[in-house]
Structures are given as structure tokens and as C-alpha cells.
Amino acid sequence: MPTPTQILQALAAIANEQLFLAISWHALIGLTVIGIVLGWRPTKKAGAAALALPLLSVSALAWAYKNPFNGIVFLLSAMAVIAIGLRRPQEKVDPAPVWASVAGAVMIIFGWVYPHFLEGGPWLRYLYAAPSGLIPCPTLSFVIGFALLANGFSSRSLSITLGAIGVFYALFGALRLGVRIDLVLLLGAVALFILALSPRFSSSKPKACA
């Protein structure tokens, strides 16, 4: 297991050497948010499965920068999200409670501007080049944010899976690596747990094929 210093150095290297990919993820996230504001709603199946894409991105970069633990965890997480997502029905996502929508928006914004690891340059760079889609915590932040906005895609298993991963990385980042801002991710993960375990949570079952 790498030391905290080695892990932080690898995360910083990813954040500072993969700026084009970070900007690309910001563009994709921005387009998604604009679509949601304009009234677009994905299906539960497509939306849930799409959450695996940023997880796969983190996994690929972790392997490239010699962090097999993150590579394995995010690869397995992406596979689990795809498996769960493909079992969702072809229905539009259900509206989330107001509190969950607010929490989701906060988590997306936090993941978007994640204020850590970029070296040098103006702070404005975090608005378009924060390591969202590159490293674990900011990526999990916006993934959990979209899950909250989509009412967990009406899947307790998906919500609990993402929430558990979020709790682990938030605590690891804050307590092991000393990145205290990762506690914001912890709040988002807990919010997703609360949503999934709420008595009013809409957990629709996939329809049987004819």
C-alpha cells in the first residue's frame, strides 16, 4: 500500500497532467446540467448506466499512474453500476424530493470546482479544470450529485452502492490523506443513504420481458 505522501503525489500528478481530460469532463457535466435545467430527463436505465463512465475514467487513470487499488475499486464499482443500471426500466427518472435536489446540486458544484491538487495558476482554473472525472473524491461527488437529482434512479441497490463508496473515499481522504474538504463528499453520501432508506423512496422494479 502506497504511503499517504505517495498517494497525494499521484493524485496531484493526474490533476496537473490531465488538464485536457478535466476540461472535457467539465464540458460534459455542464451540458448535462443545462439539459436538466431545460427539462431533459434521462431514462432510469440509460442514466444509471451512464454513471459508470466517470468511474471508468478514474479507474483507467489510476492504472496509468500506478495505483492498482483505485483502479480495481473503480473498475468493480463501474461494473456494478452498469449491471444495476441495465436492470432499470426504460422510464423517465422520478422527481427527487426538494431536499435531495438541493443536496444533489451542491454535490455537483463541489465536484465541479473541487479546490485541491491543481498547482500554480489562478484559482479560476478550478472552474474549468478541477480534477472532476480524474480522481476519486470529486468524481464521486458529482456522480452522487446526479444520483440525488434523479431520486437515486429509483434503485436502492445503486444508491447504497454509490453511498458506500462515497463514505469510504471521503473518510480515507479526510482522515488518511488529510484532505479535510472530502468531508463534503461524506455529507453527500449520507444524503444518498437517507434518500434510499426513506419510506417514500420510489424503488420501482424492472419490468419483466415479454
Q: pLDDT value at position 122? A: 85
Angle, helices 156-171/136-149, rounded to nearest 10 degrees = 150
CB 189 within 8 A of CB 166: yes
What does pTM read for this prediction? 0.93
Q: What is the pLDDT of residue 202?
A: 62
Q: What pLDDT shows up at residue 123?
A: 86
So what's the pLDDT on residue 166?
Answer: 98
For the chain, strand residue ranges (E) read none
Low-confidence ranges of the chain (pLDDT < 50): 205-210
- The per-residue pLDDT for 203 is 57
Residue 151 near residue 93, CB atoms below 8 Å? yes
pLDDT for the residue numbered 209? 37
Q: How many CA atoms lie within 13 A of 99 on its CB side?
A: 8
- To 10 degrees, what angle do helices 156-171 and 183-197 make? 160
